[in-house]
Amino acid sequence: MSKKNKDVFSTVDSLNRRKFIFTSGTALVSFTLLGGNAFSALPKLKKKSKYKVGFAQTESNNPWRLAQTKSMKDTAAEYGWDLVYTDAAGSAAKQVSDVRSMIAQRVDVILLAPREEKPLAVAVKEAKRANIPVFLIDRNVDQKLAKAGEDYVAFVGSDFVKEGRICGEVCAKVMNGNAKIIELQGTTGSSPAIDRGKGFAEAISSFPNMNIVASQSGDFARDKGRQVFETLYQSHPEADLVYSHNDEMTMGAIAALEAAGKVPGKDVMLASIDGTADAAKAVMAGKVIVCVECSPKFGPKAFELIKKLANGENIPTNVGNIDRVFTKDNPKWIRDKYGELAMTAKDYLPEAF
Ligand code: AHR
């Protein structure tokens, strides 16, 4: 190559290099300004004999939440680790500040049950910036805003879409593909409400006569569920099936139906999710046709994962729960379809919460 050509190439090369440095610098500045931190690795956890674990609960207004908190507290006591426990009392804003207070207290790791998908993504990112590993317990955050394996270690919990789908499949079978449905949704913007709605809709989509006539949030609470159902049923007395995103709202709907002189399980069928003792009893009494499990007993699994993280073991970004399907008689078609997962409510009752 002639000297002239060499000079031309090195000028182009240096221009390209400058362009590259400028472009990536600009991208980094804009990324940092937007609050991104996807380029940095997940926080690590030092090996210690004892940890200070933060558990940020969403609320304590139902047996599921109480059982979840008990499981965390019992496991912390068993391990002899400190538990910093907060209760957001049904407010996503409070839960964000609860996580901030855990960061300020320098907990070693945060177990977060995000009340709603979007607002809590912010708290997840703040914990990462403070170098504190986070596990999302039972509920997830919006994957467009924060991701498992990048912003938090893993999501630990049930497949909510599958839970909704199983309810839809059993309902379509029992109702012979023909039903006018009232849907009681969970907390608006929460991952179980979004996904349980989606799974059920998917399952009934191939049955043109399975129609949702009304759908509204009962906020996963018994009394709210009762009030919402009462109003919806007054406007839709033709409804013959209730699909509820959790057992507490199902119990509310049963109370409203009985107060209206209707027989649950006869005049109106009900399908539910969680597996509380009250719901299992309602299945045995023939009031509820199906209840899909969503276990709240996260303590042992969550603490085991903390140990794995400290040991530097590989942790999958989704640590799933296996949900069982409770019916009264466990007919053959249920066993054929769900195999090992199919269980009678009576057999489940000794361990129900
Ligand atoms: O996130 C799980 C759901 O939240 C449970 O179904 C419900 O009971 C709880 O409040």
Same-domain status, 126 and 185: no
Q: Point out the ligand 1 atom lying closest to the alpha carbon of residue 273.
A: 6
pLDDT tens-place string over residues 191-220: 999 999 999 999 999 999 999 999 999 999
Residues whose CB falls within 8 Å of the CB of residue 156, separated by 6 or more in sequence, listed in order: 135, 136, 137, 138, 298, 301, 302, 305, 319, 321
Same-domain status, 136 and 235: no
Q: How far apart are CA 306 and CA 101, in angstroms?
A: 20
Main-chain phi, psi angles of 277, to 5 degrees: -60, -40
Same-domain status, 187 and 290: yes
Residue recorded with tokens 């109003």:
231
Would you say residue 231 lies in a domain? yes
Mean pLDDT for the chain overall: 92
Q: What is the mean pLDDT of residues 91-119?
A: 98
pLDDT tens-place string over residues 56-80: 999 999 999 999 999 999 999 999 9
Would you say residue 122 lies in a domain? yes
Would you say residue 14 lies in a domain? no
Q: How far apart are CA 38 and CA 138, in angstroms?
A: 23
Same-domain status, 198 and 329: yes
Same-domain status, 167 and 270: yes
Residue 224 has pLDDT above 90, yes or no: yes
Question: What is the pLDDT at residue 322?
Answer: 95
Same-domain status, 62 and 101: yes
- Contact 158 CB / ligand 1 (< 6 Å): no
Would you say residue 110 lies in a domain? yes
Residue 39 has pLDDT above 90, yes or no: no
Same-domain status, 185 and 109: no
Q: Tell me which of 140, 246, 249, 321 to substitute to probe ligand 1's pocket, judged by most ligand atoms within 8 Å of the beta carbon.
A: 246
Same-domain status, 197 and 342: yes
Assign 40 a pLDDT band (cuts: 50, 70, 90): confident
Same-domain status, 223 and 343: yes
Question: What is the pLDDT at residue 24?
Answer: 46
- The proportion of the chain whose per-residue pLDDT surpasses 90, expressed as a percent, equals 88
Q: How far is the CA of 297 from the centre of ligand 1 (A)?
A: 12
Ligand 1, atom 10, residue with closest C-alpha: 220
Same-domain status, 127 and 174: no
Would you say residue 98 lies in a domain? yes
Residue 29 has pLDDT above 70, yes or no: no
pLDDT tens-place string over residues 260-309: 999 999 999 999 999 999 999 999 999 999 999 999 999 999 999 999 99
Residue recorded with tokens 């060499």:
6
Would you say residue 33 lies in a domain? no
Number of domains in the chain: 2
- Contact 115 CB / ligand 1 (< 6 Å): no
pLDDT tens-place string over residues 274-286: 999 999 999 999 9
Would you say residue 97 lies in a domain? yes
Same-domain status, 315 and 246: no
Q: What is the CATH number of the domain that holds 207?
A: 3.40.50.2300
Structural domain range at position 199? 160-294+323-351
Question: What is the pLDDT at residue 1?
Answer: 45
Would you say residue 35 lies in a domain? no
Both tokens of 36, joined, read 């991104």
Q: Are 231 and 258 in contact (CB under 8 A)?
A: no
Largest pairwise CA distance in the chain: 99
Same-domain status, 301 and 271: no
- Find residue 184's DSSP bridge partners: 216, 244
